[in-house]
Amino acid sequence: MNSMKINSFKLVFILIGMSLFPCYSFSQFKIDNWKIYSSLLDVKAAAIDSKGRIWAGTTGGLFVYDSVNLFNGQPFREFRNTEGLLSMEFTAMNADTVNKLVYMGTFDGYIEIADENFNFTHITDILSAGFANSIINDIYIYDTLAYIGGGFGLAVFDLNRQVFVETVTKFGSFQQKTPVKQILIKDNKIWLATEAGIAMADLNTQIIDPQVWKNYSSSNGLLTQQPIVGICFHRGDLFAATSKILYKLDRDTFIVQRTLPPTYDAITKLSSKDNKLYYTTQLNAYTLEDGSLDIFIPDMIINSHIFADKTLILMYHESGLRIFENNYLKNIRPNTPASNLFMSMDLDEKGNLWAATDYDGRGKGFMKFSNGYWTNFTVDAFPEILNNSYYKIYSDKNGKIYASNYGAGLCILEEHDTGYVFTIINNKNSPMIGIAEDPNWVITGECIADNQGVIWFSNWGRISPGPSLLAYKKDGTFAEFENCSSPTRRGFISIAIDLSGTKWLGSSPFEPHGLMYFNEKNTIDDKRDDICGVMTISSTGGKLLDNAQTALAVDGFGALWIGYETGLSVMFNPSSVLEKARPNVSIRKVSMLTTQRVNDIFVDALNNKWIATKNGVWVLNPDGTETVTIINKGNSGLIDNDVSSVFVDGETGIVYFGTRKGLCTARTLSVKPLDSYNISCYPQPYNPGFDGYLTIDGLTSETEIKILTMDGGLVKSLTVAGRKAIWDGRDNAGNYVSSGVYMIVASSSGTETAAVGKIAVIRK
């Protein structure tokens, strides 16, 4: 049932029942329904449970693979913080198949114990101990104890009582808290592979006593190189490996068995199976007896390996698992993002999320998230994109995707019925110019479309001649523009267009040239009337906080918001640069973010400012004078405080937080208001003590809400800018209302209309 657009407060009762689970609220701000999307492809540890399922711990969470007994029709089941984990960066794993438990260790010192029905127990003692290095590198189960090695040394955990019974931090003459990489136990003797060499002790002794440990290292001539990267028992003998040398312990001395040539990659893991000694390097797998297994895949790094019965399972860096059986490699890859680096994001016209991944040369191309499915545009899957160094992304209103590359120029992607079409724009087919050291190394800055559909973007070039700004016109031709203040200064990356059509370009911190502005006066091919210049700290009398800018955004009032390495400012009158006289810009420093590194700025549908920083996200009111809230790991489902990018979908209110540990999404009230009222209230009936908040949906702009008793008594007044409002079930005095039926009267100063809804409150 819809409400009516009325001018005389006609009453229309709307009753729609739904459920909502609020997280926390600041006045008319609420954020809830957190979800995490992280890459599960960088596998660091794995184990096989009693059912033969593969548990894989990654840098972005955990997945379990079972191709026989599917999970709701899928071979994968995924676990992240939202599924109960305390940490998502796994480093060690072992399965207790007798007691049907899986033990997992993390980078930050958590131990997760899971039964085979996926019930988790969290052990936080190692993290709580305050070690300088809490990483857990190995978990070895022996009898009723688990021996846990990590950056702190060795800890002994009682499996039955689930308590730690011993912590060993010194092994013989090795330095205190020498990190333990791997643990082996045989004939009641414990062997440790450490960064200083190998340590051994008899478990019948007090292993907490450093003197009971025997050391094998280069200092006593028993090993010629350290650290030790792996140990294993093979045919009753102990073998050990450093990065390039394989040893065998013979009569208490380690003898070199094989030395890899200098051109070979480093050894990652040793194991023994069926009377063969296996060792993986970063690019291949070998046996001591037969040599290479020939599983080389270019550019794919092997982290480690395990065996499932007689099957070799390889763990890859950012490429999932592979099962090697009968000389065939089978890929095991859940559908997740290719990377946890969400450095830049945009939504296309269909509501699909696009993200660019490159940071410091670690990019994995760019990614699309559509209807729960990820498409990863990497150079392996799509050679047309040339390389993976895409760090900025933009979607125009026609559905074209513009991905900016660090070296290969600009990739324009179009989706057709027959598939994806890629167009690469670089120095070969456009006025773009590469850097001075390499003319073919073309760096494209951020892209944006003006109201005519022209795509504007910068061409970064450090100190070199060439265009700083280019326009890609709808006919496929280009217009190029230099930095008119200093033509060889081409250090601009970020871009924004104000309400007057002026393009603003921010300098990168590596080339702090100042803030460039340019306006072609709607005559893109006639440069005679162009207006351009560069603002600096000195030219603005210190109003500009820095000559390098990290982010730019224009809000609904036409103000330009400017992010820096240390702070945020707002220019209220960017159109003043169009005046013939010297521009007199009005810039105000935003005091709340004085010490914050601003990574991104997004203006939502209600004109609130979402400021992504290294310490969480600040949400500012429309004029930036008040902090609506600060979102961080401590008060939300955010997985990392260093937020690289943020985007709020004005149609749904979904906010996307891009970090270097994955993507987080949440639901907010930042939804565009409707043109006319269509009020619905949920949940119905509403129980304040159980439901938390009532949501009032279907509002127009600038709505004043009055909640009334049926006889017209005022209960609560609310003022709302967007489509949704919330009510906590309390009156203006802060008391919960009684059970009964209440009227919601909404009137808009923006549309000069009004509407009414009705709600039932039940107090239990």
Residue after which a domain boundary falls, among 292, 315, 330: 330
| Exposure string for 439-454, b = 16+ CB within 10 A, e = fewer | eebbbbbbbbbeeeeb
**Residue among 144, 95, 101 at smallest CA distance from 120:** 101
Q: Is residue 750 part of a domain?
A: yes
Q: What type of residue sits at position 704?
A: E
* Residue labelled with tokens 């007689």: 310
Query: What is the SS3 assignment for 187-221?
Result: CCEEEEEECCEEEEEECCCCCCCHHHCEEECHHHC
3-state secondary structure at position 620: strand
Q: What are phi and psi of 211, to 5 degrees?
A: -75, -15
Round to whole Å and give the CA distance between 191 and 215.
10
Report the number of distinct structural domains present in the chain: 2
* Residue labelled with tokens 């810039």: 587
- Burial, 461: exposed, middle or buried (Cβ in 10 Å; 0-12, 13-18, 19+)? buried
Residues 6+ positions from 187 with CB-CB distance below 8 Å:
none
Round to whole Å and give the CA distance between 36 and 716.
36
The CATH code of the domain that includes 748 is: 2.60.40.4070
150 pLDDT higher than 80: yes
Condensed to tens digits (0 to 9), the pLDDT of residues 625-671 reads 999 999 999 999 999 999 999 999 999 999 999 999 999 999 999 99
**Residue among 753, 596, 686 at smallest CA distance from 19:** 686
Confidence of residue 15 (pLDDT cuts 50, 70, 90): very low
Condensed to tens digits (0 to 9), the pLDDT of residues 119-141 reads 999 999 999 999 999 999 999 99
Are residues 87 and 134 in contact, defined by beta-carbon separation less than 8 angstroms? no
Neighbour tally for 632: CB within 10 Å: 16
Q: Is residue 68 part of a domain?
A: no
| Domain membership of residue 267 as a residue range | 229-330
**312 token code pair:** 């070799």
CA 206 to chain centre: 45
495 pLDDT higher than 90: yes
According to DSSP, residue 383 is labeled G
Are residues 453 and 466 in contact, defined by beta-carbon separation less than 8 angstroms? no
3-state secondary structure at position 215: strand
Q: Is the preceding peptide bond at 337 cis, omega within 30 degrees of 0?
A: no
The stretch 612-621 carries a mean pLDDT of 97
**464 token code pair:** 């070199």
How many CA atoms within 13 Å lie on the side-chain side of 614?
10
Round to whole Å and give the CA distance between 87 and 594.
31
Q: What type of residue sits at position 653?
A: G
Are residues 461 and 427 in contact, defined by beta-carbon separation less than 8 angstroms? no
Residues 6+ positions from 201 with CB-CB distance below 8 Å:
171, 189, 190, 207, 212, 213, 214
How many CA atoms within 13 Å lie on the side-chain side of 347?
17
Least confident of 206-210, 574-578, 596-600: 574-578
Condensed to tens digits (0 to 9), the pLDDT of residues 295-324 reads 888 889 999 999 998 899 999 999 999 999
Q: Is residue 43 part of a domain?
A: no
Round to whole Å and give the CA distance between 689 and 160.
40
**715 token code pair:** 């209960």
Are residues 6 and 29 in contact, defined by beta-carbon separation less than 8 angstroms? no
Residues 6+ positions from 619 with CB-CB distance below 8 Å:
29, 608, 609, 610, 611, 627, 628, 629, 630, 631
53 pLDDT higher than 60: yes
Pairing of strands 214-216, 703-709: unpaired
Residue after which a domain boundary falls, among 302, 330, 358: 330
Neighbour tally for 137: CB within 10 Å: 20
Q: What are phi and psi of 689, to 5 degrees?
A: -70, -25
Confidence of residue 291 (pLDDT cuts 50, 70, 90): confident
**Residue among 42, 80, 663 at smallest CA distance from 357:** 663
Condensed to tens digits (0 to 9), the pLDDT of residues 576-591 reads 999 866 778 999 999 9
Residue after which a domain boundary falls, among 330, 350, 373: 330
According to DSSP, residue 290 is labeled T
Query: What is the SS3 assignment for 687-704?
Result: CHHHHCCEEEECCECCEE
**Residue among 476, 486, 475 at smallest CA distance from 514:** 486
The stretch 95-117 carries a mean pLDDT of 96
Are residues 77 and 64 in contact, defined by beta-carbon separation less than 8 angstroms? yes
Cα three-residue angle 284-290-296, rounded to 5 degrees = 15
Q: Is residue 172 part of a domain?
A: no
361 pLDDT higher than 50: yes
**553 token code pair:** 């955004």
Q: Is the preceding peptide bond at 685 cis, omega within 30 degrees of 0?
A: yes
pLDDT for position 27: 60
Q: Is residue 323 part of a domain?
A: yes
Q: What type of residue sits at position 189?
A: K
The stretch 48-75 carries a mean pLDDT of 94
How many CA atoms within 13 Å lie on the side-chain side of 366?
28
pLDDT for position 581: 66
Confidence of residue 3 (pLDDT cuts 50, 70, 90): very low
Task: Please give the model's pTM, rounded to 2 decimal places.
Answer: 0.91
- Averaged confidence pLDDT in the chain: 92
Q: Is residue 699 part of a domain?
A: yes
Least confident of 222-226, 591-595, 691-695, 711-715: 222-226
Are residues 41 and 303 in contact, defined by beta-carbon separation less than 8 angstroms? no
Neighbour tally for 12: CB within 10 Å: 16
Neighbour tally for 223: CB within 10 Å: 24
Condensed to tens digits (0 to 9), the pLDDT of residues 382-435 reads 999 999 999 999 999 999 999 999 999 999 999 998 999 999 999 999 999 999
pLDDT for position 23: 34
Round to whole Å and give the CA distance between 543 and 548.
13
3-state secondary structure at position 78: strand
Q: Is residue 282 part of a domain?
A: yes
Are residues 506 and 493 in contact, defined by beta-carbon separation less than 8 angstroms? yes
**274 token code pair:** 């069926």
Q: Is residue 686 part of a domain?
A: yes
Round to whole Å and give the CA distance between 190 and 176.
18
12 pLDDT higher than 70: no
How many CA atoms within 13 Å lie on the side-chain side of 701?
9
Give the 3-state secondary structure percentages of the chain, helix then strand then coil, rounded to 5: 5, 50, 50
Alpha-carbon dihedral of residues 504, 508, 512, 518, nearest 10 degrees? -20
